[in-house]
Structure 1
Amino acid sequence: MSAPATLVGCDFSSSPSRRKPIVLALGHERQGRVVLDRLQHLDTLPAFGHWLGEPGSWVGGFDVPFGLPRELVEQLGWPTGWEACMRHYAGLTREQIRATFAAFCDARPAGNKFAHRAFDRLAGSSPSMKWVNPPVAYMLHAAVPLLLAAGVDLPGVHVGDPDRVALEAYPGLLARELIGRRSYKSDDRGKHTPERLIARKDIVTALEAGQTRLGLRLKLSHAQRDALVADASGDALDAVLCMVQAGWAALQGPPRWGLPAALDPLEGWIVSADLAVPSHG
């Protein structure tokens, strides 16, 4: 089976707006290159849900956690089946989530407050139960019910439409591989520094040269390159980084799409995390 025509990278926001939309990078793979066709902005969660539900053929990398740590779920006595757990979680309010997770953390020793998923150290990702800086617990709460309602396929955790394949991605995984711990983005205008602009330019240059373990080159027009570098929030660049991860997954193909056979079906997996050097930072 050849890779589907469309690759998707999604920089997600749990409270999207015109100022801070959900950003989709849409493209395709051709002879070892991931070509960016266009960027699309969605200002509301219903608009995102509508986009997910449209008929189509795509493989997407979404910068949003698809699961919670097993240690957390078991200690709270929540269902340990993925869909039952997610439906239970979706039934909570953000205030209930914050209070529940804060109580969990308060009962644990300093330095080990949060529960982690199995791949967090590999990917350098934030715990999916974290509700601030970044609020990934709220991102999961907002996104996963829409993914379920749209009937998309979530390899390793939930069977859906095989033509619309959604994978958990993480732009920081590729960004750190290319520029280390240098900061390349900020939503704070006061932190839109020349150093961050140079870091974004270095990421784009390295992606175009194929300097990641994924072995894919990014193909951009001059205008696209300028736009990615100029976006100081990093949202467009993050969407493109996720699209490159989706491109690698599409080349691996079904049924695993590059995911390891031994992943925990409750926790899920960040695509290509097992190719990374473990992050101890």
Structure 2
Amino acid sequence: MISRVYGIDFSSAPTPRKPITIAIGELAGTEYQLQQVVEVGDWSQFDDFLNHPGPWLAGFDLPFSLPRALIEHYRWPTQWPVFIRWYGQQPRAELRLAFKMFCDARPVGNKFVYRKTDRPAGSSPAMRWTNPPVAWMLHAGAPRILHAGLHLPGLMEGIDAPAQRRIALEAYPGYTARKITRHSYKSDDPGKHTQERRDARRAIVNGLLDTGLASGLNVGLGVSRAWKQKLIDDPKGDLLDAVICGLQAAHASLEKNFGFPVDIDPLEGWIASVPPPAQDYDARQDLDA
């Protein structure tokens, strides 16, 4: 079992003012022991992080692929490594046009298609290019993760994990946060840094401390009093999101096959800690709507 576990709150354009946030922790039994949270303000630092020696496991808050229905519609590559290399080389302006044309041809209220994992996770469609621009997070992050030689379970059929065992899992902190509270807990807008959101962060942190129904995770958070206070006090939620990503990765590492569906789509992947639905959702059915 890998003990070093990271959680990454990603930014598609990291700067010192809007950095990539990385939680660093150790998995001891069923406790994820948070050591610290660091900020990475440029791509060079992030690439250094990706390439540092293993073994380690990380949960990344960014989509690792687009919906199969969209990819097949445009006849883009359908082997995940080939698709990611291709996607990362495409100008965003051309991708934006392709996304818009696809959506414009679909009925009102059903503009986007989803990956199989997005519906049960409650996440934004991975093809969304604004509010939030997750398609650009994929564009900026996944090619770097692939280039660094990380192993992505479920997306690399027939490829054995390298001896270094640097493993990347897709994470989505909103899934776990919403299990604890439906209240908004973060905002980049200073005008929305309210006591209500702070109270929601406190509730989330307290809900993460133990395993069980509150968080839906099989691991609990071990955290010092000082770091607990920092997680609660951060109004943007970057620190808390990074920690939740680490917890989701730690949870998945204790599950058989990372808790992924037995029939996981090797082009779309799956979000860590999200249980497979009883009946898999087929994103391609949207095309018949």
Shift of 1:276: 7.8
Report the AA paired with residue 86 of structure 1.
Answer: I
Shift of 1:161: 2.8
Q: 1:207 to 1:275 in 2, by over 3 A?
A: farther
Cα separation, 1, equivalents of 2:48 and 2:218:
33
Cα separation, 1, equivalents of 2:251 and 2:84:
27
Report the AA paired with residue 91 of structure 2.
Answer: T
Relative to the length of structure 1, the TM-score reads 0.93
Deviations 1:116-151 (A, max 9, x none): 001211000111100111100000000011111100
Aligned partner (choices 152, 172, 175) of residue 173 of structure 1: 175
Residue 286 (structure 2) aligns with? none
Residue 61 (structure 1) aligns with? 59
Shift of 1:275: 6.0
Aligned partner (choices 24, 27, 45) of residue 26 of structure 1: 24
Aligned positions of 1:1-150 closer than 5 A = 3-150=1-148
Contact 2:33–2:223 (Cα < 8 Å) also in 1: yes
Relative to the length of structure 2, the TM-score reads 0.91
Cα separation, 2, equivalents of 1:216 and 1:152:
24
Gaps of 5+ in 1: none
Report the AA paired with residue 246 of structure 1.
Answer: A
Percent of aligned pairs with the same residue? 47
Query: Which stretches of structure 1, 4 residues or longer, exceed 4 Å deviation after superposition?
Result: 275-278
Residue 151 (structure 1) aligns with? 149
Residue 222 (structure 2) aligns with? 219
* 1:223 aligned counterpart, secondary structure: helix
Residue 274 (structure 1) aligns with? 275
Structure 2 residue 201 is the aligned partner of structure 1 residue 200: yes
Report the AA paired with residue 218 of structure 1.
Answer: L
Structure 2 residue 191 is the aligned partner of structure 1 residue 190: yes
Cα separation, 2, equivalents of 1:129 and 1:250:
27
Q: How many pairs align? A: 273
Contact 1:173–1:276 (Cα < 8 Å) also in 2: no
Gaps of 5+ in 2: 280-289
